[in-house]
Amino acid sequence: GQQVQQSPASLVLQEGENAELQCNFSTSLNSMQWFYQRPGGSLVSLFYNPSGTKHSGRLTSTTVIKERRSSLHISSSQTTDSGTYLCALDYNQGKLIFGQGTKLSIKP
Amino acid sequence: EAAVTQSPRNKVAVTGGKVTLSCNQTNNHNNMYWYRQDTGHGLRLIHYSYGAGSTEKGDIPDGYKASRPSQENFSLILELATPSQTSVYFCASASDSSNSDYTFGSGTRLLVI
């Protein structure tokens, strides 16, 4: 079965609303990583988070290993936040298993 | 600025032909990776390398070879391209300490006809 499951698959919000993206995993990990991908573009690293909570501007990542989940919270969303967000489980020396992504659309 | 550069950006290949995708990094990272991204599958690991001269099979290596002739360069080789290998290919590099500095290239869009 799929080792990394992301939800929701897509999310549409009005500018200013908060977004909550979830990632659940079924195997042991070294760390969870979150990436942002523009349409047709490369991936940009947002967080490397083995456990606990990390902050970067309006973004917050929380990984709870015992519950086998990681989340990405975006506060006060902006239209420029639109794109695809990918979580990836680092299971061994940088080898990543990706979720299928959450496509986020922020409407003005 | 440290970066991962892929070439070509777009490629059309004929079934049965040989295709080489190139990746160059200026991050001085030991680890390099090749992934492919397909709708419905997300990104999947094809091959990886922990240093010059070494390559390892990832999760979906069949039909692909890899070459790491130097710290900076990592190539993905399709000896006999098939339409099922039509995809977007991403190269990435990371240091071997914590892999918290994962850096991706811009991708190569490959169409095999």
Query: Is the Cβ of B57 closer than 8 Å to some Cβ of chain A?
Result: no
Hey, are the CB atoms on B48 and A98 less than 8 Å from each other? no
The pLDDT confidence band at residue A33, using thresholds 50, 70 and 90, is very high
Residues of chain B in contact with residue A93, where contact means CB-CB under 8 angstroms, are: 31, 50, 96, 99
Q: Which residue from B48, B100, B101 is facing A95, i.e. has the nearest CB?
A: B48
DSSP H helix total and E strand total for chain A: 0, 11
Q: Residue A18 is inside which H or E element, if any?
A: none
Query: What are the tens digits of pLDDT across the range B35-67?
Result: 999 988 889 999 999 999 999 999 999 999 999
8 A C-beta contact, residue A73 and residue A60: yes
SS3 category, A80: helix
In the block, which residue shows the tokens 């993206």? A21
Query: Is the Cβ of A9 closer than 8 Å to some Cβ of chain B?
Result: no
Query: Is the Cβ of A84 closer than 8 Å to some Cβ of chain B?
Result: no
Is the confidence at residue A6, as pLDDT, over 70? yes
Shortest distance, CA A24 to any CA of chain B (angstroms): 15
- Long-range CB contacts for residues B5-9, cutoff 8 Å, separation at least 24: B5/B105, B5/B106, B6/B89, B6/B90, B6/B91, B6/B105, B6/B106, B6/B107, B6/B108, B7/B108, B8/B108, B9/B106, B9/B107, B9/B108, B9/B109
User: How many beta-carbon pairs under 8 angstroms link A with B?
Assistant: 61
Query: Is the Cβ of A38 closer than 8 Å to some Cβ of chain B?
Result: no
Query: What are the tens digits of pLDDT across the range A80-100?
Result: 999 999 999 998 888 999 999
Query: Is the Cβ of B51 closer than 8 Å to some Cβ of chain A?
Result: no
Is the confidence at residue A1, as pLDDT, over 80? no
Query: What are the tens digits of pLDDT across the range A13-24?
Result: 999 999 999 999
Q: What is the pLDDT of residue B1?
A: 64
Residues of chain A in contact with residue B107, where contact means CB-CB under 8 angstroms, are: 41-42
Q: What is the pLDDT of residue B89?
A: 98
Ramachandran assignment for B28, one of left (phi > 0), alpha (psi -120 to 50 degrees), beta (any other): left
The pLDDT confidence band at residue A2, using thresholds 50, 70 and 90, is low
Is the confidence at residue B29, as pLDDT, over 60? yes
Q: What is the pLDDT of residue A29?
A: 77
Q: What is the pLDDT of residue B2?
A: 59
Residue of chain A with shortest Cα separation from B94? A94
Is the confidence at residue A57, as pLDDT, over 70? yes
Q: Residue A34 is inside which H or E element, if any?
A: strand A31-37
The pLDDT confidence band at residue A41, using thresholds 50, 70 and 90, is confident
Q: What is the pLDDT of residue B100?
A: 78
| Percent over 90 (pLDDT), chain A | 80
Query: What are the tens digits of pLDDT across the range B60-104?
Result: 999 999 999 999 999 999 999 999 999 999 999 998 766 778 999
Residue of chain B with shortest Cα separation from A95? B45
Query: Is the Cβ of A44 closer than 8 Å to some Cβ of chain B?
Result: yes
